[in-house]
Every structure is written in C-alpha cells, then in structure tokens.
Amino acid sequence: MQSSKIEVRNIRKGFAKDDGTALNVVDGVSFSVRDGEFVAIVGPSGCGKSTLMNIISGFVQPDQGAVIIDGQPRNKPNAKGILISQHGSVFPWLTVRENLMFGLNGHAPANKAELADHYAAIVGLTGFEKAYPHELSGGMLKRAELARALVVKPEVLYMDEPFSALDALMSLRMRNELLRILAKERHTVMLITHDVEEAIHLADRIMVLSPRPTRIQATFDVPFAHPRRLSSPEAQELRVAILRELGVDSYGD
Ligand SMILES: Nc1ncnc2c1ncn2[C@@H]1O[C@H](COP(=O)(O)OP(=O)(O)OP(=O)(O)O)[C@@H](O)[C@H]1O
C-alpha cells in the first residue's frame, strides 16, 4: 500500500469581515496525497484555493481540522515544503545565484554556489547566475523561482498559479520544464491553477472545488502517460467534464 504524504482532515476556515460578520471560506475539505503524486486543484475565482493552499503549506492556521504531513501534524511552514506563489518570492536585491544560495544552510559556501549554479542550469538560466531579478524576463523570473524552490530539495512543492502571469507559449514551456525536472527528481506536488488544460497536462489527479464556501465538488484521475497529447479525444473529454463541473459549457467537443 502506498503511504499518504499529505493528509488534509476536515479543514474549515473563515475570515472576519469589516462589518463584524464572518466570511466562511473553506467548508470542510478532506483529502490525501500519496508520496510522489501530483495533485491539481481547480475552482472558481475567489472560492478559497489560495486560502486552502496556505493552510496546507502551514502559512495560515485553519479554524478547524488538521494537516498531517508524513504522519505529523503541520502547523507552520518548513523547508520540507516550498510554496511558489503567483506573486513570486525571489529577493530583488540578490542575484540569481545568491537567491538560490539563500535557503541552503549547512553547506560550505563553495558547495552552495555549485549547487545554486547546478539548479540554475536545470531550469535553463546558465549565464544569468549573476543577474538581478529586474534584469530577467517574466519567464526567466519564473525559472529562477522554480530553481529557488528545487535547490532545497523540498519533499513537497506547493504551487499557487505559478505560471499565470506568463503568456501562453512561455507557460507551456514552463510546464514542459517542470515535467522534465519531475521525471528526474520526484517531488510530491500540489498545484492550484485556473487553467484546466494545465491541470490535465501536469497532474495525476484533479480536484474541482465548489464556489465559496468551498468543498471538494469532484475528483478526476488523469490516467494518461507522459508526454501527454492534450488534443487526444480522451484528454478533451476530461477537459469538458471538468469544465462542466465548473459550470462552463465548452463548445467544439
Ligand atoms: N487574510 C484574509 N482576510 C480576509 N479575507 C480573506 C483573507 N484571505 C482571503 N480572504 C477572502 O477569502 C476568499 C477566498 O480567497 P482566496 O484567495 O483563497 O481565493 P482563490 O480561490 O485563491 O481566489 P482567486 O481564484 O481569485 O485566486 C476571498 O473572498 C478573499 O477576499
């Protein structure tokens, strides 16, 4: 039997509104993620996806419920799980290499630099190790973010709309890059995305969240081997089924 890497148990979360009433956001969400599994979460805008991800990665405390990682309750972030958010997290005052070295404790400085350059190379940033974030294009910045997350060898990668700021072509390139890296270095991944196609391209399983207060409305396995052909009838059928759950009629199916 495969072990559970992440267990999310009946999470509930609300926020206090200015008028003193409560905004109920997450309304009893439970699921588990296997070690090495890639799970994508899609849901309507504002339903509570980021709140749920922030709770699972330990940045926000739930009002009720628990997150269990490797059998241990999780209530604060740690280096075993890295969150890549849509806002980005590289330090603008550090170079690419320095950003990558930042999270590496317990290594000699020369080893840190070597590791940093290795991961810069993995994401295709060779030659830009000494560049500052403002000198990079949007796509390169996302690569730097990804390298910064991977260099600490996280057991879990939490990705909240990581490629949403990129144009369609660059986003597709980044997905392929991510799949290439994951084929070499297996991580457990949780991805939040608006993009159903992105979820079908990348994930082993896709959970559809309901509108706020959110619950899991449907779960779909993605049983297609990589590399995936998103234009295949099976992938298109899955896309239509997921969009239907999201209340969107798709044409051309
Ligand atoms: N710290 C907070 N304080 C008050 N309200 C919050 C807080 N964080 C989130 N919310 C509210 O919770 C709801 C869900 O927000 P959240 O960002 O989790 O949704 P989302 O599904 O990720 O949205 P989007 O699809 O637009 O990225 C929103 O109505 C938001 O205003």
pLDDT in the model for residue 251: 61
Q: Report the pLDDT value the prediction gives residue 2, as an integer from 0 to 100.
A: 53
212 falls within a domain: yes
Ligand 1 pocket, mutate which of 13, 21, 23 (most atoms under 8 A from CB): 23
* Domain encompassing residue 25: 1-80+156-162+188-252
Cα 253 versus chain centre, distance? 29
CATH number at residue 217: 3.40.50.300
Domain assignment present for residue 87? The answer is no
Whether 111 maps to a domain, the answer reads: no
Residues whose CB is less than 8 angstroms from the CB of residue 164 and which lie 6 or more positions away in sequence, other chains included: 86, 171, 193, 194, 195
Measured in angstroms, how far is the CA atom of residue 48 from the centroid of ligand 1? 5
> Number of folded domains in the chain?
1
Reported pTM: 0.92
Domain assignment of residue 239, yes or no: yes
**125 assigned to some structural domain:** no
Q: Ligand 1: list residues with CB < 6 Å.
A: 15, 23, 25, 43, 45-51, 212
Q: Which two tokens stand for residue 75?
A: 């209530």
Using the mean position of ligand 1's atoms as its centre, give its distance from the Cα of residue 50 in Å.
Answer: 7
CA 231 – ligand 1 centroid, Å? 33
Report residues of the chain scoring pLDDT below 50: 1, 253
The beta strand positions in 20-148, using DSSP E, are 22-34, 38-42, 64-69, 72-73, 81-84
Kindly report the protein residue whose alpha carbon is nearest to atom 30 of ligand 1: 46
- 112 occurs within a structural domain: no
pLDDT one-digit tens code per residue, 214-242: 999 999 999 999 999 999 999 999 999 99
**How large is the ipTM?**
0.97
Q: Look at residue 10 and tell me if it is in a domain.
A: yes
Residue 146 lies in a domain: no
**DSSP strand pairing (205-209 vs 38-42):** parallel
